[in-house]
Structure 1
């Protein structure tokens, strides 16, 4: 029991309670709690328990939360634990004996739990078997017919519709054939306002939507698209009503525009393409041979090793997967995780757990449930937590990892190790297909993820069963609630009159996630026991700001994230928040609390751009400045701001900043720096070169540099990943500079008629570099031969390296750089949070951050 995480879905707060037993004076109470925890753990390892056992477990979990709340909040908790809770604990143990739960009939999982770490999975695995469909759709998209065409992709869940749509999305970038594009995911309970705002934000990225009403959004879309060749993908349609409304926003015109809709329902598919079946693509299950090939390659890899094992795959497992790529990949990921420990018994046990003679939907559902049950207990908890987010909500890996750690789902000695474990769980869920890649940029790096809709249904149901997360959405009128709610998710979206049900006991809620309009936001100060608070708020009417002054009353708060399009008003002082570790305000802040310097537990601070950086002196590990939602490319200066403490390990400055602040050179423990600046001079580089602990540097420059950027001998000795983007590439590396550099990504622009000199002087000195990625942008007037000349010059420069480094070069169709695009996922309308991150012609600040995060995690 000592190895349990503090909080879990199956054991409640028993792990946290165990960690505090040494402080208990009542020996009898300690023994009773240990006995209670052991019994709860035993039942948690079983499957298909009778109702009596499940009710007992729920009551014990509720009791564990009551006890830990008492320990955390009451000054006389020692007396209360003996006087109030000891009788309740003894009574719970007594009921266990009376109900004879020790010998209750149950079924234990008869398969070895999958390891924590599993191999990488390719996002588009399985598409090779559908090459004919891909080719057919590609031809139709660009066949030269100037009439608007609507294509429908229909098929059962898990057949690969979204994967196919994403492939088409990546192959048709703006400027290649279409003027603009948008990819939007719907849901079973669609919010038309969100869907239309999402499309408008993507096809018109430099002018965020102002309209809020559906008819106004339709008008704005029609006006913007009327003279353009556009490409729209509407993924996961469930009802023709969504299409009936959205279709009014798409002008027919004679510009060769295309729309693709994906759905599981044939009637919806036909309605979208005006009942012209020739424009409907019906996806069929994989053949047995293709299924076996996909399964074998997923388990054993490709090449000779793959060929040697083809005949080992039991045909019955293949047959029971019914040709569904999602089912095949999910099951194969479990077997792949065993590696050399794989046995015939494992194959047989999995085969016996798979359904037979049922529908495709039921097969996929049973496979996903089986995968969930195969997860380690901690990973199950982490997956269930994702039901806090609405269906098809876009998530960032780093955010979710931090939230898992903050919630107490991960047990490890240090914060770094907790993040590593959280990252391994996230990767496991991706490999199993529970979490899907959604937004992948031109260099095949994953930016955003979403939970598969069927998985979301499963975990929402399971969370209700376990009383782990209670979800309220704007469409619900009557919902069964437990008498105790620990985690509450209010998913109101664009609803204007949504309210929190009065019968929910707000004083018992530990975690609250809110997504909706500011007018529907409940009184946060009523949630006295909150440890964890996420607010995604949208002000759809002019206001004086979002008043969060009373959050200082939430004395147990550890994690606070606020995303808003309006000014956030924080309290003048935060002196009561002694446990606060993460403070993320992705919005304009009216004023920083004066005593923020006294928050001794604060580890991570994120503030909206334009906010004066406070002089934080605690044990801060990361500082971030992000552009607020309404920023218009303005540049801010930070040299007049207070500097963070020397203990800081991560800094993200993404507005852009005028120059690199001088105080950065004093941060001797800084490990990760991600920064966008207006200009870069050698004085700035000199300021960075002595950062001996820096392992990740992502540096983007808005203005063209006029001098060579040189890195001296001994510069950045610990650096392992370097990302640099500027209109002109002119870097120099002295012998002994960046001696540990392993990966490098460089972006620059091709200009009309440019003659390229030495782009990378001294690259041969970077002897440990294994991978170099180049991204070349096209400026106004640049033609194909200019891009080719730039690529040739880049390859010649890389050719000076003595080793056979991995080289990848690609083009973007506008000037390279993230600076003209000032809306990241953190600054968007929460009601449009399921959208892709706008045009992939350029990288947003969030993309820079996410990629550098991925590299820093893999390095560390």
Structure 2
């Protein structure tokens, strides 16, 4: 019982309560609670329980929340526990005996083991069987016909429509054939403002949307797209009404634009393509042979290794999956997770749980329910939590991992280990197809995910059944919910008159997620027991800001995330929030609370774009560092003789600072450093070279360097990723420098009339580099031949790297951040996975055109015909930056991670995704 997570869907707050039993004085009460918990755990491990058992479990979970709330909030909780709750605990144990629940029949499931290493399940698996469809659509997209064409992809759920759309998306980057593109997902209950804002933000990344009304957004889209060749994908359409509105935003023109819509409904597909069936692609189930190929590949891996097992593959399981790739992948992921421990019984159990002679929708639903039941209890809780988000809401892995930890769903000794466990759960759910891998990288480097719509339906229903999450959306006329609500999700979207039902006891709610207009936001201060708060707010009318001044009254609050398109007003002081660990404001803040520096538990701090930074000394002292600073405008000096704690693992200082502080060189456990400086001198680099634990270094310099930046023998021995941006590129690597470096991203400018010398002296010494990305901007006055000269110099520099079988350089041009004109090149070993040794997040695949000739490098260059912009101007986009620290890159002892975030940015994951800006995020 000591290994229980503090909070879970099946056990309520029993795990948290167990952790406090030692403080109880009443021995009899402690024994009764232990007995109650063990009985609840026994039933939680069973399947298909009778109604009486399920009702008893729900009542005990509610009781556990009542008890832990008393312990956390009442000064005289010891007396109340004995006086009020002991009779209730005894009564609950008595009912268990009277109902004879000890002997209720139940069926136990084989539980999917938690993988220690999660394989990379390719998101496009199964497309090999649909090559004709892919080729046909690719030809139509670029057939030279200048008329706007709308193509529809229709098929049942789980057939692979989104996978096909993503494949087409990756193969058609801006600048290749289309001027701009957008990928947007809808839902059964669509929010048209969110959909249109998302499209506008993607096709016009340099100018975030400022309109809120649908007609204004349509006007802005029409004006921007009227003279462009655009490529739009609208995924998962459920009703023609969404298309009827969105279609007004897409000018017909004669520029060869293309739109793709995916849907499960044939009438919707026909309406989108103006009832021209020749533009409708109907996806069919996989054949038996292709189904078997997909199944065996997913269970045993690709190549020859599974050939000896092929005869053991039960044809009946494959047949019952009815050719649905989603069903095949989900089932095969369970079998693959057992590895060598697989038994015939496992196969037979799965076969017996799959339906026969039913519809495709029912087959997929039953498969997903079976997968859910096969998950470990903690993973079930984590999956159910995602019902807090609306259908098809785009999520980030790092966000969700931190939220699971903050909610108390993960049991582990340290914060780092909790994040690792959370990451393993997330990867498991992705591999099973419960969470979809949406590699539509709006900012070129950040992966998004979404819960499959059928999974979302299942977990929403299951959350209601378990009374785990109560979801209320604007369209519900009648709402069924328990008299005790612990987690509340208000999904109001663009509704202007949505309200929180009066019958909900706000004083009982522990976690609240709100998505809607500021005018419908309930009074947050009424939720006295809140530990966890997410607010995604839109101000639909001009206002004086979003008033969150009473947030300081939520004394139990641990996690606060606010995303808003208006100014957020925080209280003058936060002195009551002694437990607050995460404060993330993705909006402009009117004023920083004066005592923010004294938040004792604060671990993660993010402040929005345009916010005046608070006194850095206090923040760094209370979080991880202790340098005495002096501020000057938006530039901060962080130097001094202060002695920072050695436990610091991660530092990100994205508001520009004058120089690299000397004390950084003393952080022997520092793993991740991302920093923007006004100037860089060789002394600064010398200060960093001894950081033996550093694995990620992102260094951006605003002023041109006047001397060669050299890395000596033995420098940065653990470094795996190096990102460097400056107006000029003049780096030197001695033999033995950065011996473990695997990836580099280098940015510099083309200047008018410049003669380039050696940009990368000693690059041949970086023998383990597998990927090089270069970004070349252009300063005012630079012409095409200046860009060509910079390109040529960079090619020559990269060419000095020893060519061999393991490094076959290839280059593509890709749109990078908000730059209006830039040249981006990439060299990569095509055999290398997109995931590097667990130290970086998985990245979206690139459509890399490989041209390698034995030991020589063949380069294909193409340019964007747009306006010039320089690397110096990249630093002006600091207001649209945000930070993602790859926890996998942090290898620490048992001491807590230290994380500093001082990054002004503007973020709206739904409408914009992570905003485009340079310096870019480190690729995690």
Same fold by TM-score, threshold 0.5 exceeded? yes
Task: Report the CA distance between 1:200 and its aligned residue.
Answer: 1.5
Distance in 2 separating the partners of 1:649 and 1:209: 36
Task: Report the CA distance between 1:526 and its aligned residue.
Answer: 0.7
Task: Report the CA distance between 1:734 and its aligned residue.
Answer: 2.4
Distance in 1 separating the partners of 2:851 and 2:491: 29
| 21-30 vs 680-689, which moves further | 680-689
Distance in 2 separating the partners of 1:10 and 1:241: 40
Q: Is the 8 A contact 2:710 2:734 kept in 1?
A: yes
| 65-74 vs 201-210, which moves further | 201-210
Partner deviation per Cα, 1:114-140 (whole Å, 9 max, x = no partner): 646532211211111111111100100
Q: Measured at CA, do residues 768 and 110 of structure 1 come closer, stay the same or move farther in structure 2, by a change above 3 Å? A: closer
Distance in 1 separating the partners of 2:768 and 2:431: 30
Pairs within 5 Å for 1:378-777: 378-441=378-441, 447-614=447-614, 648-654=648-654, 660=660, 664-665=664-665, 667=667, 669-676=669-676, 680-682=680-682, 684-701=684-701, 707-726=707-726, 729-746=729-746, 757-766=757-766, 769=769, 772=772
Task: Report the CA distance between 1:338 and its aligned residue.
Answer: 1.3
Distance in 1 separating the partners of 2:531 and 2:193: 32
Q: Is the 8 A contact 2:530 2:554 kept in 1?
A: yes
Distance in 1 separating the partners of 2:747 and 2:825: 22
Q: Measured at CA, do residues 557 and 778 of structure 1 come closer, stay the same or move farther in structure 2, by a change above 3 Å? A: same
| 446-455 vs 181-190, which moves further | 446-455
Q: Corresponding residue for 2:26?
A: 26
Task: Report the CA distance between 1:298 and its aligned residue.
Answer: 1.1
Task: Report the CA distance between 1:832 and its aligned residue.
Answer: 35
Partner deviation per Cα, 1:247-283 (whole Å, 9 max, x = no partner): 1111111111111100000010001111110000000
Distance in 2 separating the partners of 1:810 and 1:317: 42
Q: Is the 8 A contact 1:629 1:823 kept in 2?
A: no
Alignment RMSD, CA only? 6.8
Distance in 1 separating the partners of 2:83 and 2:828: 50
Q: Measured at CA, do residues 369 and 423 of structure 1 come closer, stay the same or move farther in structure 2, by a change above 3 Å? A: same
Partner deviation per Cα, 1:771-830 (whole Å, 9 max, x = no partner): 555667799999999999988876765565569585475656467566789999999999
Q: Is the 8 A contact 1:395 1:449 kept in 2?
A: yes
Q: Is the 8 A contact 1:528 1:554 kept in 2?
A: yes
| 611-620 vs 78-87, which moves further | 611-620
Distance in 1 separating the partners of 2:741 and 2:399: 27
Q: Is the 8 A contact 2:602 2:622 kept in 1?
A: no
Q: Measured at CA, do residues 630 and 461 of structure 1 come closer, stay the same or move farther in structure 2, by a change above 3 Å? A: farther
Partner deviation per Cα, 1:547-586 (whole Å, 9 max, x = no partner): 2111111111111111222222222221111111111122
Distance in 2 separating the partners of 1:515 and 1:443: 23
Q: Measured at CA, do residues 662 and 216 of structure 1 come closer, stay the same or move farther in structure 2, by a change above 3 Å? A: farther
Distance in 2 separating the partners of 1:853 and 1:583: 52
Distance in 2 separating the partners of 1:851 and 1:648: 43
Task: Report the CA distance between 1:737 and its aligned residue.
Answer: 3.0
Q: Measured at CA, do residues 804 and 811 of structure 1 come closer, stay the same or move farther in structure 2, by a change above 3 Å? A: closer
Task: Report the CA distance between 1:858 and its aligned residue.
Answer: 31
Task: Report the CA distance between 1:370 and its aligned residue.
Answer: 0.8
Distance in 1 separating the partners of 2:776 and 2:441: 14
Distance in 2 separating the partners of 1:486 and 1:189: 25
Task: Report the CA distance between 1:434 and its aligned residue.
Answer: 0.8
Task: Report the CA distance between 1:489 and its aligned residue.
Answer: 0.9
Q: Measured at CA, do residues 845 and 235 of structure 1 come closer, stay the same or move farther in structure 2, by a change above 3 Å? A: closer
Q: Is the 8 A contact 2:809 2:850 kept in 1?
A: no
Q: Measured at CA, do residues 173 and 428 of structure 1 come closer, stay the same or move farther in structure 2, by a change above 3 Å? A: same
Partner deviation per Cα, 1:599-655 (whole Å, 9 max, x = no partner): 221111112244454457789799799999999999888789999877543233446
| 78-87 vs 686-695, which moves further | 686-695
Q: Measured at CA, do residues 718 and 617 of structure 1 come closer, stay the same or move farther in structure 2, by a change above 3 Å? A: farther
| 336-345 vs 828-837, which moves further | 828-837
Q: Measured at CA, do residues 405 and 621 of structure 1 come closer, stay the same or move farther in structure 2, by a change above 3 Å? A: farther
Q: Is the 8 A contact 2:237 2:263 kept in 1?
A: yes
Partner deviation per Cα, 1:340-366 (whole Å, 9 max, x = no partner): 222222222222221111111111111
Q: Corresponding residue for 2:369?
A: 369
Q: Is the 8 A contact 2:8 2:378 kept in 1?
A: yes
Q: What is the aligned length?
A: 860
Distance in 1 separating the partners of 2:826 and 2:508: 29
Distance in 2 separating the partners of 1:166 and 1:339: 30
Structure 2 gaps, min length 5: 860-923
Q: Is the 8 A contact 2:233 2:259 kept in 1?
A: yes
Question: Secondary structure at the residue paired with 1:90?
Answer: helix
Q: Measured at CA, do residues 613 and 18 of structure 1 come closer, stay the same or move farther in structure 2, by a change above 3 Å? A: same
Q: Measured at CA, do residues 840 and 83 of structure 1 come closer, stay the same or move farther in structure 2, by a change above 3 Å? A: closer
Q: Measured at CA, do residues 114 and 694 of structure 1 come closer, stay the same or move farther in structure 2, by a change above 3 Å? A: closer
Distance in 1 separating the partners of 2:850 and 2:421: 18
Task: Report the CA distance between 1:439 and its aligned residue.
Answer: 2.8
Question: Secondary structure at the residue paired with 1:328?
Answer: helix
Partner deviation per Cα, 1:729-760 (whole Å, 9 max, x = no partner): 43212244334434444456789998765443
Q: Is the 8 A contact 1:546 1:567 kept in 2?
A: yes
Q: Is the 8 A contact 1:586 1:626 kept in 2?
A: no
Q: Measured at CA, do residues 825 and 307 of structure 1 come closer, stay the same or move farther in structure 2, by a change above 3 Å? A: closer
Distance in 1 separating the partners of 2:162 and 2:123: 11
Q: Measured at CA, do residues 570 and 619 of structure 1 come closer, stay the same or move farther in structure 2, by a change above 3 Å? A: closer
Q: Measured at CA, do residues 843 and 572 of structure 1 come closer, stay the same or move farther in structure 2, by a change above 3 Å? A: farther
Q: Is the 8 A contact 1:622 1:650 kept in 2?
A: no
Q: Is the 8 A contact 2:144 2:256 kept in 1?
A: yes
Q: Is the 8 A contact 1:565 1:829 kept in 2?
A: no
Task: Report the CA distance between 1:684 and its aligned residue.
Answer: 4.4
Distance in 1 separating the partners of 2:210 and 2:827: 14
Task: Report the CA distance between 1:483 and its aligned residue.
Answer: 0.4
Q: Measured at CA, do residues 359 and 775 of structure 1 come closer, stay the same or move farther in structure 2, by a change above 3 Å? A: farther
Structure 2 length-normalised TM: 0.83
Q: Is the 8 A contact 2:157 2:361 kept in 1?
A: yes
Q: Is the 8 A contact 1:439 1:836 kept in 2?
A: no
Question: Secondary structure at the residue paired with 2:614?
Answer: coil
Q: Measured at CA, do residues 521 and 819 of structure 1 come closer, stay the same or move farther in structure 2, by a change above 3 Å? A: farther
Distance in 2 separating the partners of 1:332 and 1:509: 39
Structure 1 length-normalised TM: 0.88
Partner deviation per Cα, 1:368-425 (whole Å, 9 max, x = no partner): 1111111111111111111111111111111111111111000001111001101111
Task: Report the CA distance between 1:700 and its aligned residue.
Answer: 4.2
Q: Measured at CA, do residues 702 and 174 of structure 1 come closer, stay the same or move farther in structure 2, by a change above 3 Å? A: farther
Task: Report the CA distance between 1:158 and its aligned residue.
Answer: 0.5
Q: Measured at CA, do residues 835 and 341 of structure 1 come closer, stay the same or move farther in structure 2, by a change above 3 Å? A: closer
Distance in 1 separating the partners of 2:32 and 2:234: 56
| 405-414 vs 721-730, which moves further | 721-730
| 719-728 vs 96-105, which moves further | 719-728
Question: Secondary structure at the residue paired with 1:54?
Answer: helix
Q: Measured at CA, do residues 755 and 362 of structure 1 come closer, stay the same or move farther in structure 2, by a change above 3 Å? A: farther
Distance in 2 separating the partners of 1:247 and 1:810: 39
Q: Measured at CA, do residues 97 and 830 of structure 1 come closer, stay the same or move farther in structure 2, by a change above 3 Å? A: farther
Q: Is the 8 A contact 2:814 2:823 kept in 1?
A: no
Q: Measured at CA, do residues 338 and 814 of structure 1 come closer, stay the same or move farther in structure 2, by a change above 3 Å? A: closer
Q: Measured at CA, do residues 325 and 749 of structure 1 come closer, stay the same or move farther in structure 2, by a change above 3 Å? A: farther
Q: Measured at CA, do residues 144 and 643 of structure 1 come closer, stay the same or move farther in structure 2, by a change above 3 Å? A: farther
Distance in 2 separating the partners of 1:854 and 1:521: 63
Q: Measured at CA, do residues 328 and 165 of structure 1 come closer, stay the same or move farther in structure 2, by a change above 3 Å? A: same
| 220-229 vs 456-465, which moves further | 220-229
Question: Secondary structure at the residue paired with 2:616?
Answer: coil
Question: Secondary structure at the residue paired with 1:830?
Answer: coil
| 848-857 vs 440-449, which moves further | 848-857
Q: Measured at CA, do residues 835 and 531 of structure 1 come closer, stay the same or move farther in structure 2, by a change above 3 Å? A: farther
Distance in 2 separating the partners of 1:595 and 1:854: 62
Task: Report the CA distance between 1:164 and its aligned residue.
Answer: 0.6
Distance in 2 separating the partners of 1:340 and 1:674: 42
Q: Is the 8 A contact 2:25 2:78 kept in 1?
A: yes
Distance in 1 separating the partners of 2:524 and 2:680: 44
Q: Measured at CA, do residues 92 and 841 of structure 1 come closer, stay the same or move farther in structure 2, by a change above 3 Å? A: closer
Q: Measured at CA, do residues 854 and 670 of structure 1 come closer, stay the same or move farther in structure 2, by a change above 3 Å? A: farther
Distance in 1 separating the partners of 2:229 and 2:602: 50
| 830-839 vs 525-534, which moves further | 830-839
